[in-house]
Structure 1
Amino acid sequence: MTVKLGEEYCGEHMPSCATNSPDLSDKTLRVVCPLDRKHTCYAHKLAKHLKICNAREKESVPYIIKGINCGETILENAIDKIDKQTLRNYSVEEIKNVINKIQKLHDDVLTVEISEKILTHPLIEEEMTKPELGDKSRKHLIQTSSILGYLKEYDLIKSDTCFIEFGAGKGKLSFWMANALETVNNSIVLLIEKASLRHKMDNKLDKTNGNVQRIRADIADLVLQKVDILKNVKGIVAVTKHLCGDATDLALRCIKNYQDAGNAVCGIVMAFCCHHRCKWTEYTGKDFFSENGINRKDFDIMRGIISWATCGTGFSRDKNKEIDPDFYRNNLDSLSERDKEIGLSRHEKEVIEIITFDN
């Protein structure tokens, strides 16, 4: 927050009053919000703030049932502590044992090759020709273009369908998806997001025909079959972009519950991230792992392993361009002593990371 002209502090750090009867005549006085003590507001605006505060009690709605998509609940404190540990808490032998399990599972059970296929959509390609775009904006547009390209390639852009973006954030993906659906009859874009955000992209769309709607809800609590607008479509297509950690599992379980209720799921296109934030209790692949000898402790080690492909080389981007790729394939000198004990080059560690969760 910025400091206003003539003031000494920004709004959040102005002197506050903790009494129950603040002096409302003082327009600079701030008080701690009684709903959430982590933030403050102006004392003379307290009544208005309480009506819009994000910490206020939510209205009861039929499509919200607490924890409906969370999966199992484990209460034992000793087990729950596992989720808070890092690779440093495990021995080299334990890590090697999990790596062997991963390789065996990949070679004997999955027997698939991981491929990369980046598609495009003409709507986004036209947008990316604008010279004023920065690298970050262009990166996200490339990802959005590929997602829309997959929807088109698998013939998922069809009429009488609701396209649901889980973890929509500001709705940038939904914005472009709605534009791509302009010629499709009776198509609806539904955004699901638990946070209240400013500068939402869906506000820029024409909502007069009611084809774009936003629901503020935690995916863990969402019951899709009780959302009214879904009664007007023949099926749904679920889409995500960077759905963090176990939010992907919550979304999958939410979609499965919708399908089990007798509704049609036409397709799912998910781009996820932050595997280290997955949790055993919410994870949808527990049965598969258990059948193949991977337990909760192994899963926790896997959550640490997946950082290996994203933690960087220690060199700058310019320096990395100068280094021969084979250097990372064969050279162990750039690794720490503990990593040398594990016995994998940086390239081999990246390969293990890729096959850990992406299958």
Structure 2
Amino acid sequence: MAARGPLGAAMAAPEPGRCAHFVLRKKRFCKMIPAPGRRFCGEHGHEEEQNDRKRIPCPLDPKHTVYEDQLQKHLKKCNSREKPKPVYFVQDINAGLKDAAEIPEKQVPLSSLSIEELQNLITRLKKATNGLELHLKEQILSHQALQEALSDPKNGESAFKHLKQQASILGNMEKLHLLGPGKCFVEFGAGRGKLSHWLDIALENVESVQFLLVERATTRFKVDGKHKRRDSIFERLQVDIQHLCLNKVPILEKKKLPVVGIGKHLCGAATDLALRCLVESYTTCCDGKDEEPAPKRCRAVQTEVAPHKSAGNESITEDHKPVAGIVIALCCHHKCDWTHYVGREFFKSVGLGPVEFHYFQRMSSWATCGMQETTSKASTSEDSGDQTNDTEEHEHTLSRTASGSDTLQGILSVEERKEIGCLCKRLIDHGRIEYLQQRGYKAALQYYTEPAVSLENVLLTAVPSPSVIPEPTI
């Protein structure tokens, strides 16, 4: 009988027809299949006594090896090779700030500030938020498409929290009349694609629906395969939002479909990139050709770039509205970036700049982790599993952010820090609202779920405003 290792794996010999290399880290034999007449697979072929061929680390990814005499052939098909860019890839089209002089230098940590400097920041924060709408409306809704899943006792607490959020997002979309035919729904930071999955179920009797799932990373356990039985079209775009030009996505370029941008817990700067992708790059020509003169500015617009056509002209004079709506659940304000932030003009209008933005985005984390002992509770109540990994990014960063704020113990109470963190979030979000309003959208913030379900419980919505009057051309 073969001896068994600590995990119960056979130690004496590999399974028949499998590689003879023993993987110490996994305490089992390699499961790859060797070539006929060989004891070891290609990866471990250097252990074959009669094998005189040399294996070397792959220059593209040293984590795996390749036969030296087959290197050139391998480089052409290696999974780590640089792949051709898709047609909708346009370098930094949604990046925002391009003037290097405005990009802030590295700031000292928040914990290094003196008491006077911190108090001065808080004073400026309160002054900037004075007069803003800080008490958001509760818009906790649901949708029939998720009622069966919400009633299923097989779903655990974590899955139930996801479902409640997805149901409320769909409910808010329904209230904004965005669940109609002939639209393309673009899910940013799609991860496994669960939000699009439920949206597809909600639209099961609606014709001519297209889904684009934008995710920069390769994602496991995707739910896309569940949609092949229906006529709705699902397409994944593996690209960073920063480089995504929706105008060049073939289905949109061909059909000119009105787009609805959606996202569930779109971390930090990704929200700003998505907003710019929707209201700027999708509604302007991004192929470098000047097919027509740039549209005139609306009187209300005082921002760094001209508004898109739908904000001032096209959406008023034509039935076609390039962006029919935006519904994004916000999170991770501490991951925002001044370079990408769409509300820079608003910050400047209230006497703030990149330095203050840096500290306010760090202080925003106090809203969800005001004290060290609450960090674990915050993590468990946050969203997990719908992004690229099984745990969302803000769960990994809360503990580090919270520990940084521990140096402020004795200066501010937990409740004071939580209040300041909320002010920072509202200030950053108000810049986004103004950005959308100045481009012809009726934008709003609302609580879409209870804090017990997710501490990141604010939903940004926007639809084209019918009241925008374009400036007359001369």
Report the TM-score when normalising by structure 2.
0.62
| Inter-partner Cα distance in structure 1 for 2:258 and 2:98 | 31
Residues 203-222 of structure 1 correspond to what in structure 2 (within 5 A)?
A: 203-206=225-228, 209=231, 211-222=233-244
For the pair 1:8 / 2:23, whether they are aligned, the reply is yes
Q: Displacement of 1:179 after TM fit?
A: 1.4
Secondary structure in structure 1 of the residue aligned to 2:105:
helix
| Inter-partner Cα distance in structure 2 for 1:122 and 1:31 | 57
* Overall identity of the aligned pairs, in %: 36
1:242 — aligned with what?
A: 265
Structure 1 unaligned regions, length at least 5: 16-22, 321-334
Secondary structure in structure 2 of the residue aligned to 1:151:
helix
**Does the Cα contact within 8 Å between 1:168 and 1:191 map onto a contact in 2?**
yes
| Inter-partner Cα distance in structure 2 for 1:283 and 1:3 | 53
Change (3 A) 1:301 1:189: same
2:96 — aligned with what?
A: 71
Q: Give 1 or 2: higher helix fraction.
A: 1
**Does the Cα contact within 8 Å between 2:141 and 2:171 map onto a contact in 1?**
yes
One-letter code aligned to 1:340 = G
| Inter-partner Cα distance in structure 1 for 2:232 and 2:78 | 24
| Inter-partner Cα distance in structure 2 for 1:224 and 1:52 | 29
| Inter-partner Cα distance in structure 1 for 2:75 and 2:140 | 46
Secondary structure in structure 2 of the residue aligned to 1:237:
strand
Residues 132-147 of structure 1 correspond to what in structure 2 (within 5 A)?
A: 132-147=154-169
One-letter code aligned to 1:88 = S
| Inter-partner Cα distance in structure 1 for 2:377 and 2:208 | 52
For the pair 1:265 / 2:289, whether they are aligned, the reply is no
Q: Displacement of 1:192 after TM fit?
A: 0.6
Q: Displacement of 1:195 after TM fit?
A: 0.7
Deviations 1:27-70 (A, max 9, x none): 45296443234xx23647997797362x4212233211111110
Change (3 A) 1:107 1:349: same
Structure 2 unaligned regions, length at least 5: 1-6, 12-21, 31-37, 45-54, 286-308, 310-320, 379-404, 431-474
For the pair 1:308 / 2:402, whether they are aligned, the reply is no
Report the TM-score when normalising by structure 1.
0.80
- Size of the aligned set, in residue pairs, is 329
**134-143 vs 207-216, which moves further:** 207-216
CA RMSD of aligned residues (A): 3.5
Larger Rg: 2
Change (3 A) 1:75 1:131: same
2:408 — aligned with what?
A: 338
**Does the Cα contact within 8 Å between 1:24 and 1:43 map onto a contact in 2?**
no
Deviations 1:159-214 (A, max 9, x none): 11001001101111111111111111211111011111122111221266352111
Aligned equivalent of 2:342, options 284, 288, 313? 284
The list of structure 1 runs, each at least 4 consecutive aligned residues, that deviate by more than 6 angstroms after superposition, is: 44-50, 316-320
**Does the Cα contact within 8 Å between 1:280 and 1:286 map onto a contact in 2?**
yes
1:51 — aligned with what?
A: 77
| Inter-partner Cα distance in structure 2 for 1:78 and 1:253 | 18
For the pair 1:97 / 2:167, whether they are aligned, the reply is no
Change (3 A) 1:255 1:208: same
